[in-house]
Structure 1
Amino acid sequence: MAASLLGSLRVLRAALSPRKLPLATVPRLSRCRYLSTSQRLLGVAPLKLLMPALSPTMEKGNIVKWLKKEGEIINVGDALCEIETDKAVVTLDSSDDGVLAKIMVEEGAKDVILGSLIALIVAEGEDWKQVEIPAQTAAPSPPQTLSAPMQATAPQAPVPSKVQHATSKREIRFSPAARQILETHALDPSSTAPTGPRGIFTKEDALNMLKQKDDKTLPGTTASAPVKSTQATSSTPRPSIPPVSIPGQPFAPGTFTEIPASNIRQVIARRLTESKNTIPHSYASIDCNIEEVLKMRKQLAKDDIRISVNDFIIKAVAVTLKQMPDVNCTWSSEGPHQLNSIDIAVAVATERGLMTPIVRDAAAKGIEEISIMVKALAKKAKAGKLLPEEYQGGSFSVSNLGMFGISGFSAVINPPQACILAIGQSRQDLTVSEDDKGNPSLCQKDMVTVTLSSDGRMVDDELASQFLENFRLNLENPKRLALF
């Protein structure tokens, strides 16, 4: 019995013990380089590079330029391509190592939707020429409203008879009197050739059509239903005349040149419209004496320190916001939010539109440091190389048009910020001043007009007036700026 039980255990142990494979059947380590990725081992699917969201408001982008070619080795951090977003032109860096196998979207492509496939990457060592190109999936169609199926199946109602401007290949021009007669009596002008100069449909042509219609409907005659024709019955070619736009109607083809709007221009237009439609703008102006600022500039220039008046203004704004934190706020759906950091957005004019790079924590920086940052940011903005973190956010904006000869203006608030300060050109004003003995005399002073545009929901008129007064004191006494 014991011998039988021992034999059974030996048989069971042999069945459960792992079998040793011959050495020839064990793959070498060099063959298992991509063993952890079954797709790469089987050569099925490469790594897909999709259009990324490079800004919070980006919905689509343009491929400006590819910086790598097909078959070129790429490493983590290498620049792959330049993408134009709704804010700037951003360089897309690689987050993987490998080989750029296939470029799916060529340079110059416009309005590439987020998530679209733009390139394929394979692992280094694989045959990139034999990359498997995945089937392109159609972009999701926009959602239809509940009434869409009804509109698709229901017959369309007859359109009231109006004067048609493009019922044929030729463009018909009407005199005002002819237009009134045609629309009043529901006449179709396409069946009658105009007789006016330069092919104008005149009042007489309309009256003749009306008379012909009345003759057909006299007693004893059979009136036939009018049949609208989409082509003129006259085969006589009309002379070539320039198209003319009609008041109250869309511009006629040929009277304008369509200019394609870039993504940046579209975003600027949308945000400006949103700002003027949703923000109750309030405006207040004040004149500031910048004589002390100009004197300090000259002294710094002797030490080869180049500071602009705008740099002093940015510092004065930051110091004033530190003194009045109630103005350093933004608006959200929940109401105003007071910010902890003072970040000044500086308006910079570029070929792509107005950009607003941001000087972070401006109150804690010196004027020379602010000057260096503004110059660097302005250069990147004009080259379209701003990073998202360099233009997103901000608690207050400054726009200076003084260098263009503008004496004063009112700027549009950049939402969700509460204020924007518009700076005009410096000028010399004659003013009356008194000496120590009280004797009046005329003197010239260098003045500049600044205008504050404020959001009435957060900054009322009293708070705006206090801000401008404190700003004037800080700017007129630049030595105070060094205390903050």
Structure 2
Amino acid sequence: MSRWGLPLAGLPRLPGGSCTSPGSGWKDFLRQKTRGRWFLRSKSNYGSWCLLPGTPAVKILMPALSPTMEEGNIVKWLKKEGETVTVGDALCEIETDKAVVTMESSDDGILAKIMKEEGSRNVRLGQLIALLVDEGQDWKQVEIPAETSIAVPAAAAPPPTPSVTLAHKVEHHPGKLQFRLSPAARNILETHGLDASGCTPSGPRSIFTKEDALKLLEQKQKGKPVAAKPVVSSLPAQQPGVPSATTPLPASRPPAPPVSVPGRPASVGTFTEVPASNIRRVIAQRLTESKTTIPHAYATADCDLGAVMKLRQELAKDDIKVSVNDFIIKATAVTLKQMPDVNVTWDGEGPRQQQSIDISIAVATDRGLITPIIKDAAAKGVQEIAASAKALAKKARDGKLLPEEYQGGSFSISNLGMFGISSFIAVINPPQACILAVGRTRTELAVAVDDEGNEKLQQHQLMTVTLSSDGRVVDDELASQFLERLKSNLENPVRLALS
């Protein structure tokens, strides 16, 4: 043990140095910071350096801020290094797969070191983003943990060469992948020490997906070797007398011009890779999941909004401002209350009838589409729905939604009428069973019968709505009945005030 209380045995040494007993001449010392760690040396013995233990720190890791989050982006740090932090203080803003969420501190102390700077992208769950030390400690001497490197597993023995013609010969390097990994697949491979270099990805754009990684893990657990799938040539069998693709052409024959293949870029460099946000990637994943796993059925109806427009004018006289979309949300919620069989979700095993009518409204943001939820919409009045929708839309565009404000929901509404769209079809937001697509209000002439039985032309303000429903839960008859009831509620808005 040295005079300053440091153990001499087992201390790391600088090259050429040693950590020996200082003797009686060690009274004044020098400190030097090397590779982020402090070393101590006596002025009278320049050959000996001893490592000073750094200030112990609390690790701040990338948290899971939503159930489907796999990685996040550091948008902004709200605390600087050296600032005091208490429990509940906002540390930083993190972009998740749903929104930009503020991360709060769960400990007291001093923010000693920011490991992931602002703008850091694709930071995986559990990865170190900052270090916190106790108050009173020297935060500048915080001990930075050594980075752990993931060992690349040894490549398995190559399988026997299959007796098939390969379309393209791809040079294989053990441990070096020829394709991209999804975040979930990368996590599985690193956790279980798997090598996917000999596998064939099944995802779009040759992405190795989570399902591919799970199959690889299952094969490893069963002790089966993982072999690369050969790509069988689509060329016809070689005919006698016809030169093969590998036969050199005569020198006098010019090379064939390049052939344009539909769906592929003409040459390298003709496109620009655009980085996708976490929200955009999750939207793409969920839309693909919805269209490939949910049997979509569609039904359309035209609703006359003349009575709604008159009621809006009367409310405006009393300075009550509500939109047509607010009436649509209220009418949908009332219809779901009248027809609870439509207020259902599908959990993979079967339908679940939801007790609360929670309407998800689609809001377009700079980072992508997000669906904040108006909770218990059937119990709210139109004016209360208007206030909730306005507040949620603003928070969504500012990226300030809380997880509980966009997770869940039992029914979705997407309104593109404000953009001049007459009608469209929306994709179901799983695990919900239905989504209502709302078009613009348009004026049409139609024959109407007055109280005396006389026919005359009248202007009608019509709106087209299209219901996308999960055929496993909501059949065509139930969907038609729902639209008929919704149409009746919208065309008689007084009923909404009584519900």
| Shorter-chain TM-score above 0.5 | yes
Once the two structures are TM-superposed, the CA of residue 437 in structure 1 deviates from its matched residue by 2.3
2:387 aligned with 1:369: no
Matches of residues 24-423 of structure 1 in structure 2 within 5 Å?
45-138=56-149, 150=156, 152-154=157-159, 160=165, 185-187=243-245, 201-202=255-256, 246-247=261-262, 251-423=266-438
Alignment of 1:456 with 2:471, yes or no, is: yes
Partner Cα distance (2:359, 2:414) in 1:
11
Provide the rounded CA distance (Å) in 2 between the counterparts of 1:130 and 1:400: 55
Shift of 1:154: 3.9
Task: Quote the Cα distance in structure 1 between the aligned partners of 2:475 and 2:104.
Answer: 45
Q: Which has the larger radius of gyration?
A: 1
Residues 195 and 382 (structure 1), Cα distance of their counterparts in 2 relative to 1, 3 Å cut: farther
When the two chains are superposed, the root-mean-square deviation of aligned CA atoms in Å is 2.9
Give the partner amino acid of 2:103. L
- How far apart, in 2, do the equivalents of 1:329 and 1:412 lie? 16
1:210 corresponding residue in structure 2: none
TM-score, normalised via structure 1 length: 0.73
Q: 1:261/1:244 Cα in 2 relative to 1: closer, same or farther (>3 Å)?
A: farther
| Cα distance in 2, alignment partners of residues 53 and 378 from structure 1 | 24
Query: Displacement of 1:312 after TM fit?
Result: 0.2
Q: 4+ runs of 1 displaced by more than 6 Å?
A: 163-166, 189-196
| In 1, Cα distance between equivalents of 2:120 and 2:263 | 36
Q: How far did residue 334 of structure 1 move?
A: 2.4
Q: Quote the Cα distance in structure 2 between the aligned partners of 1:109 and 1:193.
A: 54
SS at match of 1:416: coil
* Structure 2 unaligned blocks of 5 or more: 1-52, 172-234
Post-superposition offset of 1:473: 1.1
1:447 & 1:247 partners in 2: Cα distance? 42
- 1:7 aligned residue: none
Amino acid at match of 1:384: G
Q: Higher mean Cα deviation, 295-304 or 308-317?
A: 295-304
Contact kept? 1:163, 1:188, Cα under 8 Å:
no
* Pair 470,153 (structure 1): closer, same or farther in 2 beyond 3 Å: same
Taking the aligned partners of 2:91 and 2:362, their CA distance within structure 1 comes to: 30
Matched AA of 1:97: D
- CA 1:190–1:249 in 2, change beyond 3 Å: closer, same or farther? farther
Q: Once the 2 structures are TM-superposed, how far is the Cα of residue 323 of structure 1 from its aligned partner?
A: 0.7
SS of the residue 1:354 aligns to: strand
Distance 1:344 1:162, change over 3 A: closer
Native 8 Å contact 1:285 1:450 kept in 2: yes
Deviations 1:327-366 (A, max 9, x none): 1110012200011100000001111111100000101111
Cα distance in 2, alignment partners of residues 387 and 132 from structure 1: 34
Partner SS, residue 99 of structure 1: strand
Q: 1:297 to 1:56 in 2, by over 3 A?
A: same
Q: Which moved more, 1:391-400 or 1:435-444?
A: 435-444
Secondary structure of 1:424 counterpart? strand
Q: Partners in 1 of 2:77 and 2:250 — Cα distance?
A: 57
One-letter code aligned to 2:408: G
Q: TM-score, normalised by structure 2?
A: 0.71
Residues 1:59 and 1:140: Cα distance change in structure 2 (over 3 Å): farther
Q: Cα 1:140–1:202, aligned 2, differ >3 Å: closer, same or farther?
A: closer
Give, as a single letter, the amino acid of the residue that structure 2 aligns with 1:77.
G
Q: Which amino acid aligns with 2:473?
A: M
Cα distance in 2 for residues equivalent to 1:62 and 1:86? 9
Unmatched runs of 5 consecutive residues or more in structure 1: 1-41, 167-178, 204-242
Give yes or no for the alignment of 1:478 onto 2:493. yes
Q: SS state of the match for residue 425, structure 1? A: strand
Tell me if structure 2 keeps the 8 A contact 1:162–1:186: no
Alpha-carbon distance in 1 for matches of 2:102, 2:165: 54
Helix, strand or coil at the partner of 1:69: coil
Amino acid at match of 1:480: R
Displacement of 1:110:
1.2
Cα distance in 1 between the residues matched to 2:369 and 2:247: 49
Asked whether 1:467 is paired with 2:467, we answer: no
Asked whether the 8 Å contact 2:79–2:92 carries over to 1, the reply is yes
Structure 2 CA distance for aligned equivalents of residues 69 and 194 of structure 1: 71
Q: 1 CA distance for matches of 2:110 and 2:489?
A: 58
* Structure richer in helix, relative to its length: 1
Contact (CA 8 Å) 2:110, 2:135: kept in 1 or not?
Answer: yes
Any conservation in 1 of the 2:360–2:373 contact (CA below 8 Å)?
A: yes
